[in-house]
Amino acid sequence: MKELDELNEVVDSLDGELNQINDLNELQQKRANYLGKKGPLAQIMAGMKNLTNDARRELGMATNNVKNKLEAMFEAKRKALEEAIVNQKLEKETIDVTLPGVSFSTGGIHPLYQTVMELEDLYIGMGYSVAEGPEIETDEFCFEKLNLPKGHPARDMQDTFYINPELLLRSQTSPVQVRTMLEKKGEPIKIICPGKVYRRDSDDATHSHQFMQCEGLVLGTDITMADLKGALLEMAKKMFDKDRQIRLRPSFFPFTEPSVEVDVSCGMCNGKGCPTCKGTGWIEILGAGMVNDNVLRMSGYDPEKIQGYAFGIGVERIAMLKNRIDDIRNFYTNDIRFLNQFKEVK
Ligand code: PHE
């Protein structure tokens, strides 16, 4: 029966055509072509009325088989196409966990503030508290009450930015000590005062018109130079390393008597002498002394009963030595390449 041959040809031709299809719409179209009313199977069925009963039954069964077969072929192809689509999508969405991550740009703590925070931690650990005061100060608190009356030649040590004859940008953090003394009215004091100060200096590698100090003031009974030396040695060992030594040299400050300048042994050469310490083995880091009786009296303290020491640390000095920075301007020019070196998370 030629119809049976035709049926087999339909299967063969579909087999070939399905291979070419790679899209679900196309497949749908093809399905309609093959299994629809105008398709080859429908045509074969239409010709059946001229056949004998037996032949019709035989062809009917064969056509049905082929129809099932075609359905199965279309179904298999549909599944294969759908699977391919899903796979393609998954492939696109695949995350390569070995790729380097994209990190967010974050800020960091400025190296000067890191140094201030270290100083604060250290002194808080020794029982000090932190006091702050305004950057715009009165002449009275910045100078007069620190034993620097108007016209005193030592005022030249600190060339100051005046706003008017009474107001200035503080040239030292010592006025915070005056403020604290006036507030505590004769009571013992143990404070540090970190903060910004201003001087009419020309900026160069070691000078800046604005820099930071961290001053300390300890007032109480029976406080001596030995206590001052102990507190400063402790600071040097904690801020630098445990092998550091300090050296006190006589000096002059109007608000302390006696006054000293304090050197720390050079960490580059361990005191042997090198270019950093200019061959001396020592590097100056701060000024200090026993608070001058006049200063105590002017702020309501009786020097017969209470006395103590004060010190003034240059924060940049410490930060430069700790981090081997040779130009103070680096702290203030905000070059991100410089600042990035001090970020904990880079
Ligand atoms: N205030 C002084 C300065 O700026 C430093 C200092 C503080 C010295 C306390 C002695 C005692 O030069």
H, E, C per residue of 223-235: CCHHHHHHHHHHH
d(CA 183, CA 300): 10
d(CA 328, CA 214): 16
Residue with CA at minimum distance from ligand 1 atom 10: 288
Minimum-distance ligand 1 atom for the alpha carbon of 171: 4
CA distance linking residue 115 with residue 175, whole number of Å: 22
Is the C-beta atom of 288 inside 6 A of ligand 1? yes
State both tokens at 255.
């608000």
- Reduced to 3 states, what is the DSSP secondary structure of residue 102? coil
pLDDT, one tens digit for every residue, the chain (346 residues): 788 888 888 888 888 889 999 889 999 999 999 898 888 888 888 888 888 888 888 888 989 999 999 999 999 999 999 999 999 999 999 888 899 988 888 889 999 999 999 999 999 999 999 999 999 999 999 999 999 999 888 787 778 999 999 999 999 999 999 999 999 999 999 999 999 999 998 999 888 999 999 999 999 999 999 999 999 999 999 999 999 999 999 999 999 999 999 999 998 888 888 888 889 999 999 999 999 999 999 999 999 999 999 999 999 999 999 998 989 999 999 999 999 999 876 5
Ligand 1 midpoint to CA 96 (Å): 60
pLDDT of residue 276: 81
Q: Is the shortest distance between the CB of 208 and ligand 1 below 6 Å?
A: no
| Cis before 153? omega within 30 | no
Burial of 153 (0-12, 13-18, 19+ CB in 10 A): exposed
| Structure token pair of residue 10 | 């339909």
pLDDT, residue 346, reads: 52
Give start and end residues of each alpha helix (H) in the chain: 2-20, 24-35, 40-46, 53-93, 111-125, 139-142, 174-184, 225-239, 293-298, 315-323, 336-340
Q: What local confidence, expressed as pLDDT, does residue 345 receive?
A: 62
Residue 262 forms beta bridges with which residues? 248, 286
